[in-house]
């Protein structure tokens, strides 16, 4: 089984640190608006990763965080005239509700940043004591030159960082590339710390929560490709400066979802929310739309993609009904045995090759076509079992006919 590792830039044989346990951390939502297809693509893909690893005999411990302390949430609360926590809880509930409708199983742990402030303060204190961070009047900063490995994930060189960065008035940064671990703020949300009343920077949140629940070295860390820099680069610097150990063994990044050629996001105003899609299409059609392109490629999202998904799901549903009606105990014809064996083997090969869901879906649809080639009762049973096996990974056969 091979996984493309963003850190090394190549596919590598997957070997977890403590088999059969696989520890997996996925960067979750910043909860200030309804989830869109960018959020859904990450969640659905790592749902499939988890399902396949489980099918391969691994025991997956998955953590997906909730960023509920962030300026976007605070600004939204001001707009609405409500407490920041009300905004965060409302959109957090909306996220989990929408993911559940898409067939995404909840993570084993879904920690909130706001509930881990003491651990963050402790980690920042350790970085200060170790000479990797400093207080500068307006907050605590990580000193990037103190970590020689900075840039190894994004392949961004320090000279490029310094050239592209600038120190804003009022910032006491020693180096233009330094980033905030703690921001001094009096207004809510804010907490006491040894330096000032304030709140944590975004990057330290994930480092602290991932290591608390999964240990100092994690097998798989995932998220959208837009998080490679600076978020994941900063996570590596903080975490490895704290522990002196490798933070993550396999970094996996999902390509951006685009709408009209631009990144789908609230800030660009280009959004296709999960709820919009589910008003007109089945959850399985949406999953197909998100999974039928290799996860590392950008995905241009439009109605045609959903129509294609809807058509594919109708075909699978028709085959499923046909097989259910025809299936009965008895021997399967040799051609059915051969077809099932070939398709299952090709499906496994696709999933073992960096989770190639596009090829896996093709094998599943080809197998479903055999339902209409008179497989006989025993053959229908064999095809049905194989189809269920594939669907336990991809989740494309409707629970109720569309």
Predicted local distance difference test score (pLDDT) of residue 161 = 73
Per-residue pLDDT at 149 = 95
Q: What count of residues does the chain have?
A: 402
Which is nearest to 248 in space by CA: 92, 20, 26? 26
Are residues 219 and 315 located together in one domain of the fold?
no
Cβ(247)–Cβ(239) below 8 Å: yes
- Tell me: do 214 and 72 sit in the same domain: yes
- Inter-residue contact 60 to 22 (CB < 8 Å): yes
Q: What is the CA radius of gyration of the chain?
A: 23
> What pLDDT was estimated at residue 169?
46
Domain that holds residue 17: 2-131+202-263
Q: What predicted TM-score, i.e. pTM, was given to this entire model?
A: 0.94
Q: Do 253 and 315 reside in the same domain of the chain? A: no
Residue-wise pLDDT tens digits, 204-262: 999 999 999 999 999 999 999 999 999 999 999 999 999 999 999 999 999 999 987 77
Residue 277 forms part of a structural domain: no
26 and 93 co-located in one domain: yes
Specify if 83 maps to a domain: yes
Q: Are residues 115 and 213 in the same domain?
A: yes
What is the bridge-based pairing of β-strands 133-135 and 218-224?
Answer: unpaired
Question: In whole angstroms, what separates CA 9 from the centre of its chain?
Answer: 19
Of 279, 371, 360, 359, the residue nearest 316 (C-alpha): 371
Angle at 31 between CA 27 and CA 37, to 5 degrees: 70
Same domain? 309 vs 340 = yes
Element (H, E) at 340: helix 334-352
Query: 318 and 255 in one domain?
Result: no
119 and 231 both lie in a single domain: yes
| Angle (CA) 288 289 293, round 5° | 95
CATH number of the domain at 330, please. 1.20.120.640
Q: What is the mean pLDDT of each run of 10 residues along the chain (402 residues)?
A: 98 98 98 96 99 99 97 94 97 98 98 98 99 96 96 87 58 89 94 97 96 99 97 98 98 94 70 93 98 97 95 97 94 96 99 99 98 96 98 90 41
pLDDT reported for residue 162: 66
Instruction: Please check whether residues 247 and 323 belong to one and the same domain.
Output: no
Indicate whether 350 belongs to any domain: yes
Q: Which of 263, 206, 265, 264 is nearest to 232 (CA)?
A: 206
Dihedral angle computed from the Cα positions of residues 346, 347, 350 and 356, in that order, rounded to the nearest 10 degrees: 150
Task: State how many domains the chain has.
Answer: 2
pLDDT recorded at residue 268 = 65
What phi and psi values does residue 2 have, to the nearest 5 degrees? -125, 140
Strand partners, 3: 12
For tokens 């704290």, the residue is 242
Domain membership flag for residue 85: yes
Both 332 and 250 in a single domain? Answer: no
The pLDDT, as a whole number, for residue 401 is 44
Assess contact for 34 and 94: CB atoms under 8 A: yes
Query: Is 273 inside a domain boundary?
Result: no
In a domain? residue 149: no
- Verify that 22 and 102 share a domain, yes or no: yes
Residue 257 and residue 308 in one domain: no
pLDDT tens-digit readout, 267-285 = 666 688 999 999 999 999 9
């Amino acid at each position: 089984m091979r996984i493309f590792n963003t850190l090394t830039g190549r596919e590598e044989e997957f070997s977890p640190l403590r088999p059969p346990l696989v520890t997996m951390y996925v960067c979750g939502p910043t909860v200030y608006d309804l989830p869109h297809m960018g959020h859904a693509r990450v969640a659905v893909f790592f749902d499939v990763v988890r399902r396949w690893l489980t099918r391969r005999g691994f025991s997956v411990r998955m953590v997906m965080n909730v960023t509920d302390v962030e300026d976007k949430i605070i600004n939204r609360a001001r707009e609405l005239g409500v407490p920041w926590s009300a905004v965060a809880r409302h959109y957090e509930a909306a996220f989990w509700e929408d993911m559940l409708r898409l067939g995404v199983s909840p993570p084993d742990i879904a920690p909130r940043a706001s509930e881990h402030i003491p651990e963050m303060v402790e980690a920042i204190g350790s970085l200060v004591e170790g000479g990797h961070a400093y207080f500068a009047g307006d907050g605590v900063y990580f000193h990037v030159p103190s970590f020689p490995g900075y840039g190894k994930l994004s392949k961004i060189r320090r000279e490029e960082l310094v050239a592209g960065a600038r120190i804003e008035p009022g910032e006491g940064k020693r180096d233009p590339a330094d980033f905030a671990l703690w921001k001094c703020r009096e207004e809510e949300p804010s907490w006491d710390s040894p330096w000032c009343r304030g709140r944590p920077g975004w990057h330290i949140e994930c480092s602290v929560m991932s290591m608390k629940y999964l240990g100092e070295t994690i097998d798989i860390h995932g998220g959208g490709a837009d998080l490679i820099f600076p978020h994941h680069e900063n996570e590596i610097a903080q975490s490895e400066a704290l522990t002196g150990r490798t933070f993550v063994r396999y970094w996996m990044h999902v390509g951006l979802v685009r709408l009209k050629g631009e990144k789908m996001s609230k800030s660009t105003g280009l959004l296709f929310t999960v709820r919009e899609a589910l008003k007109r299409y089945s959850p399985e059609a949406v999953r197909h739309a998100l999974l039928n392109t290799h996860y590392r490629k950008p995905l241009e999202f439009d109605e045609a993609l959903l129509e294609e998904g809807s058509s594919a799901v109708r075909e699978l549903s028709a085959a499923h009904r046909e097989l259910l009606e025809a299936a009965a105990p008895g021997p399967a014809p040799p051609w059915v045995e051969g077809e099932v064996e070939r398709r299952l083997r090709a499906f496994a090969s696709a999933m073992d090759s960096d989770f190639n869901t596009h090829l896996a879906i093709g094998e599943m649809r080809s197998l479903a076509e055999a339902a209409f080639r008179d497989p006989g009762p025993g053959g229908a049973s064999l095809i049905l079992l194989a189809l269920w096996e594939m669907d336990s990974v991809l989740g494309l056969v409707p629970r109720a006919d569309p």
